């Protein structure tokens, strides 16, 4: 019970949680081991409101953090870094394993808050929380294995390398997977001995603070994981702060470019996880039932608000009609509505402006000649409390062509664009003809073709006969304008450490002077 009293939201309220019932008063900044109101002064004192997408209600508001608060958060993280980076990997591992255990224990509470704040179904939020604690557990396991190399040199001299942390890292998150993004960034950062100041999206500020409380409960030093809240100005202050060594960013391409520009001025390390317009390629020799499942997984999780979604679905001409018939029938059965109900499979989009934007893409697609095969219009649930929610019916667009806006641009909503193709060579060229390169998928029973395709597709992740599965053991990250750097998998260690070479002379230096 002690543990529950320190929680962001009283557990009694969570047990009674129903959509539209939650109002929060607690501060959403987290600094040096506790929730705080941001220190006033230094610029951005704007207040932002937080909405519940399913009802349109305001859940709470918060003050955006300005210069003074960012200075305090970075300074506190620096202090924690000094203590944390001196621990052995195994000591860090033990604390992070406890954090993973606490996330598991609080899974349901975190998932409820996540669903209320993002609008996604509770069944999905639970999986997001699972993938999040698995990342913490995975990197806890790696913490104890971090090591350098010994290199024998001539004359008995030798060198060794030390894998050292970077210092204070900044994490900046998008709104679609708020808790998971906070874990995917903080777990490797902390495992490698860094501290982190994290800024969630202003649309979804709630669960990152729950993670901060969990890290404190698990035993990390105060300040090791601080949370600041805000939007553009706060993000900019973080990316330009002299005390920060790295920025790991998840968000759109235009913002990613700005983050990289700002970080470049003080030569900070950068990881960019940006948007996508990924191809899903379905060959006529596929298992059609599985390919239909793949197309749904590739387009309709989290109301389609997923960066790696396979939204350009290329289907080989001879199975196009059969595929469309099945995929449209399945899509029509997706149960929309209250995110907190067990059988809901699609909730509300993140905001009213975003919903309008997605609908305007559909309108434009129709004008450009696409054929709406299902959905694409507003959905108004029967329950009165949901009538102002941001719901729409999942949409499938047929008769798409490569040059249509819906095929070229990331929509970030439940909109699948279907295109047809004839040959393997043709589809490779068309699939790669994009500035993005986050993911790609192939459905085929031909083993050699599957691997040929995986090699030819310009994307950071290629799924064969599945889509949007994300085991924490495999690296995730983009090619081309979808960004660089990795999250998950052992490769991520490279992005949160630096390697020092130590030369040891065992004789006398040779000197020409």
Ligand X SMILES: NC(=O)C1=CN([C@@H]2O[C@H](COP(=O)(O)OP(=O)(O)OC[C@H]3O[C@@H](n4cnc5c(N)ncnc54)[C@H](O)[C@@H]3O)[C@@H](O)[C@H]2O)C=CC1
Ligand Y SMILES: C[N+](C)(C)CCCC(=O)O
Handedness of CA 87, 90, 96, 102 (dihedral sign): negative
CB closer to ligand X out of 275 and 337: 275
CB closer to ligand X out of 360 and 371: 360
CB closer to ligand Y out of 345 and 385: 345
Rule CB under 6 A: say whether 306 interacts with ligand Y.
Answer: yes
470 binds, among ligand Y, ligand X, none (CB under 5 to 8 A by kind): ligand Y
Radius of gyration (C-alpha) of the chain in whole angstroms = 24
416, 395 in Cβ contact below 8 A?
yes
Beta carbons within 10 angstroms of residue 255's beta carbon: 18
Rule CB under 6 A: say whether 76 interacts with ligand Y.
Answer: no
CB closer to ligand X out of 221 and 477: 477
* Contact code string over 156-195 relative to ligand Y, x by CB under 6 A: --------------------xx---x--------------
410 binds, among ligand X, ligand Y, none (CB under 5 to 8 A by kind): ligand X
> Which structure tokens are listed for 202?
């202003």
Starting from the edge strand earliest in sequence, which strands make up the sheet with 483-484, in order? Answer: 34-36, 29-31, 225-227, 195-199, 168-172, 246-250, 269-273, 483-484
From the CB of 306, what's the least distance to ligand Y, in Å?
A: 4
Rule CB under 6 A: say whether 301 interacts with ligand Y.
Answer: yes
468 binds, among ligand Y, ligand X, none (CB under 5 to 8 A by kind): ligand Y
166 binds, among ligand Y, ligand X, none (CB under 5 to 8 A by kind): none
The one catalytic residue among 273, 305, 410, 487? 273
Would you give the distance in Å from CA 95 to the centre of its chain? 23
Strands (E), 146-255: 150-152, 158-165, 168-172, 195-199, 225-227, 246-250
Rounded CA separation 225/81 (Å): 10
Strands (E), 323-474: 371-374, 395-398, 415-421, 439-443, 461-464
Rule CB under 6 A: say whether 308 interacts with ligand Y.
Answer: yes
Rounded CA separation 170/217 (Å): 21
Residue nearest to ligand X (CB): 235
239 binds, among ligand X, ligand Y, none (CB under 5 to 8 A by kind): ligand X
124 classed as catalytic? no
Task: Kindly list the residues in this chain that would bind ligand X in the complex (CB under 6 A).
Answer: 172-176, 199, 201-202, 231-232, 235-236, 239, 250-252, 255, 258-259, 273-276, 307, 410, 412, 438, 478
User: 150, exposed or middle or buried, with CB in 10 Å at 0-12, 13-18, 19+?
Assistant: exposed
From the CB of 213, what's the least distance to ligand Y, in Å?
A: 22
Nearest CA to 136 among 65, 215, 32?
215
CB closer to ligand Y out of 255 and 316: 255
Q: Would you tell me which residues interact with ligand Y (CB under 6 A)?
A: 176-177, 181, 301, 306-308, 468, 470
- Active site (catalytic) residues: 273
């Amino acid at each position: 019970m002690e543990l529950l009293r320190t929680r962001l939201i009283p557990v009694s309220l969570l047990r009674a949680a129903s959509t539209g019932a939650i109002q929060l008063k607690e501060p959403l900044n987290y600094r040096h081991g506790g929730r705080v109101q941001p220190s006033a002064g230094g610029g951005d004192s704007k207040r932002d409101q937080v909405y519940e997408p399913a009802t349109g209600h305001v859940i709470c508001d918060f003050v955006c953090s300005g210069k003074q608060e960012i200075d305090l958060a970075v300074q506190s993280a620096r202090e924690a870094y000094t203590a944390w980076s001196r621990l052995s990997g195994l000591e860090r591992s033990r604390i992070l394993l406890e954090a993973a255990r606490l996330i598991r224990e609080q899974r349901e509470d975190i998932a409820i808050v996540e669903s209320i704040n993002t609008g996604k179904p509770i069944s999905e939020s639970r999986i997001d929380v699972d993938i999040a604690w698995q990342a913490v557990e995975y990197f806890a396991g790696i913490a104890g294995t971090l090591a350098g190399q010994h290199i024998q040199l001539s004359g008995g001299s030798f060198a060794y390398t030390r894998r050292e942390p970077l210092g204070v890292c900044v994490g900046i998150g998008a709104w679609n997977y708020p808790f998971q993004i906070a874990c995917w960034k903080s777990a490797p950062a902390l495992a490698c001995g860094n501290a982190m100041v994290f800024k969630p999206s202003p649309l979804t500020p709630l669960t990152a603070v729950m993670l901060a409380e969990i890290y404190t409960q698990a035993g990390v030093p105060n300040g090791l994981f601080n949370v600041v809240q805000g939007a553009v100005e706060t993000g900019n202050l973080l990316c330009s702060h002299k005390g920060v060594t790295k920025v790991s960013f998840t968000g759109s391409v235009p913002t990613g470019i700005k983050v990289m520009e700002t970080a470049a001025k003080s030569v900070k390390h950068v990881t960019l996880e940006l948007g996508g317009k990924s191809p899903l390629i379905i060959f006529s020799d596929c298992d059609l039932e599985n390919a239909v499942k793949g197309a749904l997984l590739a387009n309709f999780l989290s109301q389609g608000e997923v960066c790696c979604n396979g939204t350009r679905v290329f289907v080989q001409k001879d199975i196009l009609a059969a595929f469309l018939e099945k995929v449209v029938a399945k899509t029509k059965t997706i149960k929309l509505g209250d995110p907190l109900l067990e059988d809901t499979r699609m909730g509300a989009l993140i905001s009213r402006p975003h919903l309008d934007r997605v609908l305007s893409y559909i309108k434009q697609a129709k004008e450009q000649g696409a054929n709406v095969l299902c959905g694409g219009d507003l959905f108004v649930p029967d329950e009165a409390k949901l009538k102002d929610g941001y719901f729409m019916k999942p949409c499938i667009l047929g008769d798409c062509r490569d040059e249509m806006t819906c095929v070229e641009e990331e929509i970030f909503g439940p909109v699948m664009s279907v295109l047809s193709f004839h040959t393997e060579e043709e589809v490779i060229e068309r699939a790669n003809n994009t500035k993005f390169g986050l993911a790609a998928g192939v459905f085929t029973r031909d083993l050699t073709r599957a691997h040929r395709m995986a090699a030819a597709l310009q994307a950071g992740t290629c799924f064969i006969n599945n889509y949007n599965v994300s085991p924490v053991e495999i690296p995730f990250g983009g090619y081309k304008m979808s960004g660089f750097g990795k999250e998950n998998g052992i490769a991520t260690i490279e992005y949160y450490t630096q390697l020092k070479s130590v030369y040891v002379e065992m004789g006398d230096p040779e000197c020409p002077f």
